[in-house]
Amino acid sequence: MNNAIDILLTPWLWITIVVIFTIQRSVLFIPQNRGYVIYTFGRYSGTLQAGLNFIVPFIQRVAADRNLKEQSLDISSQLAITKDNITLELDGILFMKVVDAAAATNNITDYKLAVVQLATTTMRNAIGSMELDQCFQNRDNINASILASMTEATQPWGVQVTRYEIKDITPPISIKEDMEKQMAAEREKRSVILTAEGVKTAAITQAEGLKQARVLDAEAAKAEQVLAAEASKESQILEATGKAEAIRLVADADSSALHVVGAVAITGEGQQAVRLKLAQDAIAAHKAIAAEGSVILTDGKTSENIGNTVAQAIAVSSALKLSE
């Protein structure tokens, strides 16, 4: 017991304890994305970054430990009045990060609370400069306006607002009912327009189809007429060619016959045959005239001519028989 008391009262033990405590207080291991604000004799002297750091115990102390990561802050529901005096209930979410741990400690008491209050005020101002329809149609513009205003205002606090988003906009019940009616009317209007457009498109398509069909029918009829004309032309050409050939053959035959008759007619026998043929034709002609009527008018010389002709014909016929 006395030995234990003696050890506790040994100065070296206390010196060792003091040294260990001093070393423990002077050595700091700072995590990543953290910033330690150091005060020396109550005044800001620097900001320690991540890693192994040393401070002077009892003279320097860690005044604040700031998170340098991006953080999200919920903006609770707030009432705002639009330019056309409509009260809206809005809520949002804000993303921010500490870029200067010293400024966030020395220039503002509670930077998170300050950022939330500033976001609420800025949101109300942005809504107050717009009408109801613009608030619903221009959310991106509202977010951009709030972000621009807050970026400038939070710069002295060492805080950077990276993004602001409005989560919900709730109008009064009466306005909501009117909006629902308007939306229903718009949907019905669009439906009627789409139906009319469909009918119009169908009519145009049908008309185009009929037009194309008529054009094709006309082209087919035209082509058929052309083919028929070509066929008629070819037929007429062939018929004309056949007639021409027949006429040529008849002409050739007549020419040949005349040539033979002419060759024979220059002889004595041929001339007698010609006179015989003429006599026969004359008799046939008189018979035909007699068959047409009961009275025959002559010039008084016809009987003599006929008799002479018959006599000549008998003589020629006898001569031809004797020659045979």
Note the pLDDT tens digit of each residue in 145-156: 889 989 889 999
Highest mean pLDDT, choosing among 17-26, 273-282, 309-318: 17-26
How many CA within 13 A on the CB side of residue 320? 15
Asked if residue 127 has pLDDT above 60, the reply is yes
User: Measured between alpha carbons, how far is 275 from 258 in angstroms, rounded to an integer?
Assistant: 16
Question: Quick check: helix, strand or coil at residue 66?
Answer: strand
Contacts of residue 21, Cβ cutoff 8 Å, sequence gap at least 6: 57
Note the pTM of the prediction, 2 decimals: 0.52
> What confidence score (pLDDT) does residue 103 get?
92
Asked if residue 296 has pLDDT above 70, the reply is no
What tens digit of pLDDT does each residue of 202-223 get?
889 888 888 888 888 888 888 8
- 171-181: average pLDDT: 79
Residues 280 and 313: beta-carbon distance below 8 Å: yes
Kindly indicate the confidence band of residue 100, based on its pLDDT and cuts at 50, 70 and 90. Answer: very high
> What confidence score (pLDDT) does residue 58 get?
82
Q: What string of DSSP letters covers 90-130? A: EEEEEEEEES-HHHHHHS-S-HHHHHHHHHHHHHHHHHHTS
User: Measured between alpha carbons, how far is 26 from 24 in angstroms, rounded to an integer?
Assistant: 6
Residues 164 and 95: beta-carbon distance below 8 Å: yes
Q: What is the dihedral of CA 163, 168, 172, 174, to 10 degrees?
A: 130
Highest mean pLDDT, choosing among 88-92, 229-233, 271-275: 88-92
Asked if residue 71 has pLDDT above 50, the reply is yes
> What confidence score (pLDDT) does residue 300 get?
47
Cα-Cα-Cα-Cα dihedral sign, residues 87, 91, 95, 98? positive
Asked if residue 294 has pLDDT above 60, the reply is no
159 exposure class (CB count in 10 Å sphere: 0-12, 13-18, 19+): buried
Question: Which of 178, 56, 157 is CA-nearest to residue 108?
Answer: 157
> What confidence score (pLDDT) does residue 37 get?
92
The DSSP letter of residue 31 is P
Kindly indicate the confidence band of residue 70, based on its pLDDT and cuts at 50, 70 and 90. Answer: very high
User: Measured between alpha carbons, how far is 122 from 94 in angstroms, rounded to an integer?
Assistant: 12
- 14-38: average pLDDT: 81
Kindly indicate the confidence band of residue 290, based on its pLDDT and cuts at 50, 70 and 90. Answer: low
Contacts of residue 298, Cβ cutoff 8 Å, sequence gap at least 6: none
- 94-112: average pLDDT: 92
- 240-248: average pLDDT: 82
Both tokens assigned to 142: 């509202």
Residues 36 and 43: beta-carbon distance below 8 Å: no
Question: Which of 78, 158, 162, 68 is CA-nearest to residue 117?
Answer: 78
- 49-61: average pLDDT: 85
In one letter, which amino acid is 285?
A: A
Q: Which residue has the tokens 């019940």?
A: 173
User: Measured between alpha carbons, how far is 22 from 78 in angstroms, rounded to an integer?
Assistant: 51
Asked if residue 115 has pLDDT above 90, the reply is yes
User: Measured between alpha carbons, how far is 259 from 278 in angstroms, rounded to an integer?
Assistant: 19
Both tokens assigned to 252: 């050739």
Kindly list the domain boundaries of the chain, sorted by start residue.
1-66, 69-171
Average pLDDT score, the chain:
80
Superfamily, domain 69-171: Band 7 domain (3.30.479.30)
Asked if residue 295 has pLDDT above 60, the reply is no
The DSSP letter of residue 43 is E
Asked if residue 201 has pLDDT above 70, the reply is yes
Residues 130 and 142: beta-carbon distance below 8 Å: yes
Residues 89 and 79: beta-carbon distance below 8 Å: yes
Both tokens assigned to 176: 């909501």
Both tokens assigned to 198: 């469909």
Asked if residue 274 has pLDDT above 70, the reply is no
> What confidence score (pLDDT) does residue 161 get?
92
Alpha-helical regions (H) of the chain = 2-8, 11-26, 101-106, 111-128, 132-137, 139-154, 173-265, 268-292, 302-323
